[in-house]
Amino acid sequence: MNAANPSSVVATAEQLIDGWELVVGLEVHVELATRTKLFSASANRFGDEPNTHIDPVTLGLPGALPVLNRHAVELAMRLGLALNCRVQPCTFHRKNYFYPDLPKAYQVSQYDQPLNVDGFLMLPGDVRIGIERAHLEEDTGKSTHFGGAEGRIAGSEYSLIDFNRAGVPLVEIVSRPDIRTSEQAKQYVSELRAILLAVGASDAKMEEGSMRCDVNVSVHKPGTAFGTRCEIKNVNSIRAVGRAIDYEARRQIDVIISGGAIKQQTLHWDDAAGRTNVLRTKEDADDYRYFLEPDLVPLAPDTAWVERVRAALPPLPAARRAALATLTGQARESEAIAVVVERGQDSYVSEVAKVGGDAARALVYVQQAFADEPATPRVPAGDIAALTLMEKNAKITSTQAKTLLADLVANGGGDVIAMAKAKGFESMDTGALESLVDAAIAADPDAWAKFKAGEQKAIGALVGAVMKSSKGKADGKAVTALLQAKANT
């Protein structure tokens, strides 16, 4: 560890890349789910006709004055508190630069006194990633580049600008450089996204740009000072976060090994090509000439307001996953748990358990069949509970349960016992099943010989034959078990 380094997290030996320690910090921008913009009353709506949500403030017309959106502040506080930040009195600054999608020639942002500071976010395995700040700022317009290589900045002949997005409220969440692997970076973005959705601060759609990641990457030898960092922009999916970091770490290590030095640069991630390109070389940080925005007064949420927001926070994803894992007996980090919590259907699973259903099966059903259902699915919890019990008590096979589940979803519920009867689903007793298995073996001695000789694939033909002769009533798992038992004797 080096005293001068801005993070005291030390990589484990397994986390090193050929003996190099990776340091990653993330700056994530999220658009807040408000009705209107941060400083003006035009709609904050994605996907509408260009330049149909514009006003004097958005366009930077002379004399236009910004007024802060109360709901944007509230959502930013909600997010800050969910990230364990301290909410503090804060001010707004102008960040000055010239770009056509920024009509005022400055972005209103927060500088040395941001709204939320000193938080943290927990990753799986009790890894704690510090949050330096989560501040409010306004989004820019959207540029589309034409001519040259279509849609790209390089070699373009002109650009068209849509200001619908200009002035949309953003929170920029800046992590501390505590991330040591690309996997952790992906987990961080994924967890942040889950929190944003849980508290309703943003729809966090990376593909639509309402959640955007800039990734700071550097490498150094363990025990030495951190290396010079490069910032990668345009990283638009969780997968791309991992790929961009892996690529950039390798690039930097190769540059240093071959005797070169890393220049502090802004890079652009080209996901199709799987590489970074140099966007611009940063000269110094002072180029933005931040100064206090004279058109806005300070924001100072009082304790009562902060505590009201805190008290209204919903249970957060980590706690909800833990609760669902306990209820269903599944691993806290399993995919089913993550997916169901993200959809907000975890309370539905516990509702199914509460009315007597089998929680583990309910989790599987909900994960598999409720992807297009709202947080509170239309199927009554009692119907799903009944179905879990029928399968658990072997009244029906898992295949039959799947069929009935699909029907329940399609019809928005139903009497599963009657439905099973109508479909002729009834369990086969073991004796009947065994005679079907014997018949299948007799009919296909070739497959049976291969299976007995250890060729596992050969079991498929036999199981298939039993399913067919039983008209789908046999339980595939039971058939497989029977065949295994017979082969072992």
Partner 1 sequence: MPEPISRNTVAKVARLARLDLTEAEVDRMTDQLAGMLEHFRDVDALDLSNVQPLNQPIPLTNVLRDDVEQPSLDRDEVLGNAPAAQDGRFRVPPIIGFEE
List interacting residues with partner 1 (CB under 8 A).
Answer: 34-36, 41-43, 49-56, 59, 67-73, 89, 91, 96, 98-100, 143-145, 147, 153-163, 268, 277-281, 287, 289, 292, 294, 296-301
**CB of 321: closest distance to partner 1 in angstroms?**
31
Nearer to partner 1, 142 or 450 (CB): 142
* Residue/partner pairs of 311-320 with CB below 8 Å, 24 or more apart: 312/78, 313/78, 313/81, 313/82, 313/199, 314/198, 314/199, 314/200, 315/198, 316/82, 316/195, 316/198, 316/199, 317/191, 317/194, 317/195, 317/198, 317/341, 317/342, 318/122, 318/191, 320/198, 320/346
Residue 454 in tokens: 């250890």
Nearer to partner 1, 14 or 49 (CB): 49
Cα within 13 Å of Cα(447), Cβ side: 18
Nearest CB to partner 1, comparing residues 56 and 412: 56
Quick one: 44 or 216, whose CB is closer to partner 1?
44
Which is closer to partner 1, CB of 147 or CB of 374? 147
Which contiguous run of DSSP H or E holds residue 211?
strand 211-220
Closest distance of CB 24 from partner 1, Å: 23
Task: Identify which of residues 5 and 51 has a Cβ nearer to partner 1 in the complex.
Answer: 51
> 15 or 156: whose CB is closer to partner 1?
156
Least separation in angstroms between CB 87 and partner 1: 13
- Three-state DSSP string of 168-184: CEEEEEEECCCECCHHH
Residue 305 CB, shortest distance to partner 1, in Å, is 9
Give the position of tokens 């009947």: 432
What backbone phi and psi angles, to 5 degrees, belong to 403?
A: -60, -45
Shortest distance, CB of residue 357 to partner 1, whole angstroms? 40
Nearest to 164 by CA among 145, 138, 146: 138
Tokens describing residue 434: 């065994």
> Judged by CB, which is closer to partner 1: 158, or 372?
158
Report which DSSP code applies to 294.
Answer: T
Q: How many CA atoms lie less than 13 Å away from 38 in the CB half-sphere?
A: 26
Kindly state the smallest distance separating residue 392's Cβ from partner 1, in Å.
Answer: 48
To partner 1, the closest distance from the beta carbon of 147 in angstroms equals 8
Q: Cβ 152 to partner 1, closest distance in Å?
A: 9
CB of 132 to partner 1, least distance (A): 21
Distance (Å, whole) CA 485 – CA 487: 6
The neighbour count for residue 268, using CB atoms within 10 Å, is 18
Nearer to partner 1, 50 or 344 (CB): 50
Question: Which residue blocks in 412-458 are alpha helix, DSSP H?
Answer: 416-422, 430-443, 445-452
CA neighbor of 166 nearest in space, from 190, 194, 139? 139
